Structure 1
Amino acid sequence: MKFSPLQFGPLHAVRGEILHFLADPAAHGARAVAHFPDGLLVIRDGRVAECGPAAELLPKLSAALPVTDYRGKLILPGFVDTHIHYAQTDIIASYGEQLLAWLEKYTFPTERRFADPEHAAAVAEFFCDELLKNGTTTALAFATVHPASVDALFGAARERRMRLIAGKVLMDRNCPDFLRDTAETGYMESKALIERWHGCERLLYAVTPRFAPTSTPAQMQLAGQLFAEHPGVYLQSHVAENRGEIEWVAQLYPKARSYLDVYDGFGQLGARAVYAHCIWLDDEDRRRMADTGTAMSFCPTSNLFLGSGLFDPGRARELGVRVGIGTDVGAGTSFSMLQTLGEAYKVLQLGGQKLSAESAFHLATLGGAHSLDLDGLIGNFLPGKEADFVVLDLQATPLLARRMASCETLSERLFVLMMLGDDRCVAATHVLGAPAYRAGPAAR
């Protein structure tokens, strides 16, 4: 369903139960949480003007101010997905492989189809709509090796005014010929895409070596060069997801101290560098990520689905590493951040750690924004932030409604939401203040 931002004037408001985070609750406790049971979010030209109790703000505003009434529902900043593959949308829930075999059997044949711009455009449209249907307004996404796949994704995101980061995959070895570029063509095509898309409205570019085994040292060197040559661009890749993968990297790069050290040696760590998985790292790797401002993306559903291992967020936090959360579709099993948070809780349980509901929702909003170096623009409702938000129906299913009736605290309601919720809970998603998705009878 498409909405025009012209429906909404330069100043309007949204009323409902509002929750956002000012900091990490794990470190700052209740002071990190801003909660208004009857709140008002005032939006001017797509940005937050004010946020607070409705009883305090309404008397200061004109009686003629348009107010969208979401009372009875919970309003949160839009979710931030820090790792996802748009080209793998059509292989979500593919049976029975671990990482390297999964790439060969499912990923590479599927990505071949993105040489066709019409196919790429059709998947990109569906992908962006599915993100919005799940309340995700910002994502860091992989395209494929084909420049047209990047054009298609950025085009679909721009039409919806989403904040999206993406890039062309770089692969010049250990992959099928039909997906192989060269160090030089990968550099030149990425450079052209950066010039075309980086900073275009809300779009940002990420230099995207798939992972160290599929790039030669020459390509890795040029990827680091692209990252250095274009201040403000991102770099995204995978590291230490699977033990077999780690052994392979050690054979290909025998001089490197560790898998992460391969990337470090090619200048691929730093602010706005984001690595998915980070399961089998040691503390020296984690300290190096913290020292350089490099971020981790925790991908619980894909790590469980592929049998890769259990991420250790507690140790990352202790050493000061920035951490976001990613659905990692298509090895990840859901676009829903609610379901992803539920699986994150289970991963921590298996690792002998705890994930509070407040910390989980911080991870999906301000924490994700911080990991992407975007917390000055998105992630909460401080004045001046971009007004992206999701409206959640805590009565969306009979089971949710019944369970919520016995909840006594906000924390308990949030925990039930992340354990039992899914896309059916998303009543609406707003981008820059205007609705980009609203649930209807068909959505139920």
Structure 2
Amino acid sequence: MTVQDRLLLGQTLSFIDDPFDVPVSAAVQYIRDGAVLLRGHLIADVDEAVTLKKAHPNADITDYGDALILPGFIDAHVHYPQTAIIASWGKQLIDWLNTYTFPEEIRFSDHDYATVIANRYLDLVTAHGTTTVVSYCTSHPESVDAFFTAASARNMRVVAGKTCMDRNAPDALMDTAQSAYDDSKRLLEKWHERGRASYAITPRFSPTSTPDQLTALGALWAEHPDCLMQTHISEQKAELDWVAKLFPDARDYLDTYERFGLLGQRGLYGHAIHLTARESDRLREMGAALIHCPTSNTFIGSGLFDMAARKSQGHIVGLATDTGGGSSFSMLRTMAAAYEIGQLNGTALHPAQLLWLASAGNARTLHMGNKIGKLQNGFEADLVVLDLASTPAIAQRSGHADDIWQAVFPTIMMGDDRAVMAVWINGQSISLENPNRV
């Protein structure tokens, strides 16, 4: 059966290089009157609208006017089981876990409850223009199955894994070194590279895993080096003190992963705010990714990640909501928070740098830079279409814009789901009329 071509018309913006490394003009491919040609689940071409309409006269056309067509947003660090406790008041990391997170995660032994929250979460983020997420599940295999199943029904590219903990957590959430290995291996074999799913080996963080469990998960990663590994590091100073007491022989926090085989190029290390010089150097040498979670870092009082400094040092850096320690499901709000933190650190991030982090930059952290994150021939057709005048406040500012960056920056700073005109996942338009359908 012949696949019907479809042309999406609007302003188009994508990246051909990292705007932290080269001038913005050399990093960006922007077309004022552009078009994206979709063929099945892939992008077939991006060019001037007049050119593609002439070359493909029989293509179905969707005209988004002056809206901006971008690669779908990618969120590199979330906790979907914390959906229901987002925006909970007044705690920092350790108390947050004990007061809010652990009691809620206990509920995910119920597959039906996990299914409800997984669908709710994916509906919420899709409504905000996010088309790929990297999520921690809970220690219950049911939570992993529920999440991957919900994502599969949407043909959505996701990465996720069972969160492993065998100490310093409620009994109802703890596994063992052996069961963490066995469960993770079974889930990995079931879901990894099935459709658009990828598995991530997932020790929550070293305070909740014994050396035996960390050793077991390091061994599993060595057996499956094509998998990602996700964890947390150096989020809050009290956490660093705790790690030092639990691992008195470790050189630093990173060493509690490195000595057990949990430092590698395909590692995703959430937060990474308070790194020592050795840790920073070692993570950079390994090509591991640091994942910046700005709304979380401010909401639970963790500190200020210095994006400009880390990028100038040569680190691979991603951007994430960290739902539900993060206070928003929106990558627009996350970009705005990253900008604000950059200002506090003395560096105003350019709108191109923010959009790159949420698209091609995050794709790079996931080692999927050849599949997602760009409007480019052969890439998977995950797209977000932004209305750059979605509210009166945004419209009055963008109406005075002299270039695309002045036009899009008000949406980055003040936009929400009202700015999301359309979302395409794997070449299919997604209904945004009722995102909270569950």
Three-state SS of the structure 2 residue aligned to 1:26 is: coil
Instruction: Describe how 1:5-404 pairs up with structure 2 within 5 A.
Output: 9-29=3-23, 30-61=25-56, 63-404=57-398
Partner deviation per Cα, 1:153-210 (whole Å, 9 max, x = no partner): 0000000011100000000001111111000011101100001000000000001100
Partner deviation per Cα, 1:192-243 (whole Å, 9 max, x = no partner): 0001000000000001100000000000001111111113111100000000
Shift of 1:438: 3.3
One-letter amino acid of the counterpart of residue 225, structure 1: A
Matched residues in 2 for 1:115 and 1:238: separation? 23
Partner deviation per Cα, 1:82-129 (whole Å, 9 max, x = no partner): 000000000001000110001000000000000100000000011111
Q: Is the contact between residue 358 and residue 414 of structure 1 (CA under 8 Å) also seen in structure 2?
A: no
Three-state SS of the structure 2 residue aligned to 1:190 is: helix
Tell me, which stretches of 5 or more residues in structure 1 are unaligned? 1-5
- For 1:3, the equivalent position in structure 2 comes to none
Matched residues in 2 for 1:28 and 1:351: separation? 21
Shift of 1:319: 2.1
Identity of aligned residues (%): 44
One-letter amino acid of the counterpart of residue 31, structure 1: A
Q: Is the contact between residue 296 and residue 324 of structure 1 (CA under 8 Å) also seen in structure 2?
A: yes
Shift of 1:439: 4.7
Q: Is the contact between residue 332 and residue 413 of structure 2 (CA under 8 Å) also seen in structure 1?
A: yes
Matched residues in 2 for 1:52 and 1:272: separation? 33
One-letter amino acid of the counterpart of residue 119, structure 1: Y
Q: Is the contact between residue 430 and residue 437 of structure 1 (CA under 8 Å) also seen in structure 2?
A: no
Matched residues in 2 for 1:309 and 1:318: separation? 20
Three-state SS of the structure 1 residue aligned to 2:75 is: strand
Matched residues in 1 for 2:309 and 2:219: separation? 31
Q: Once superposed, which parts of structure 1, at least 4 consecutive aligned residues long, lie more than 4 Å away?
A: 439-443
Work out the number of aligned pairs and report it: 436
Q: Is the contact between residue 86 and residue 327 of structure 2 (CA under 8 Å) also seen in structure 1?
A: yes
Backbone CA RMSD of aligned residues? 1.6
Between 1:47-56 and 1:75-84, the stretch displaced more is 47-56
Shift of 1:282: 2.1
Matched residues in 1 for 2:222 and 2:133: separation? 22
Shift of 1:440: 7.7
Shift of 1:406: 1.4
Matched residues in 2 for 1:432 and 1:197: separation? 18
Matched residues in 1 for 2:341 and 2:197: separation? 32
Q: Is the contact between residue 134 and residue 422 of structure 1 (CA under 8 Å) also seen in structure 2?
A: yes
One-letter amino acid of the counterpart of residue 280, structure 2: R
Between 1:29-38 and 1:263-272, the stretch displaced more is 263-272
Q: Is the contact between residue 16 and residue 28 of structure 2 (CA under 8 Å) also seen in structure 1?
A: yes
Shift of 1:21: 0.8
Matched residues in 2 for 1:109 and 1:180: separation? 13
Between 1:396-405 and 1:188-197, the stretch displaced more is 396-405
Q: Is the contact between residue 428 and residue 439 of structure 1 (CA under 8 Å) also seen in structure 2?
A: no
TM-score using structure 1 length? 0.96
Matched residues in 1 for 2:431 and 2:16: separation? 26
Three-state SS of the structure 1 residue aligned to 2:202 is: strand
Q: Is the contact between residue 426 and residue 439 of structure 1 (CA under 8 Å) also seen in structure 2?
A: no
TM-score using structure 2 length? 0.97
Q: Is the contact between residue 271 and residue 373 of structure 1 (CA under 8 Å) also seen in structure 2?
A: no
Q: Is the contact between residue 427 and residue 439 of structure 1 (CA under 8 Å) also seen in structure 2?
A: no
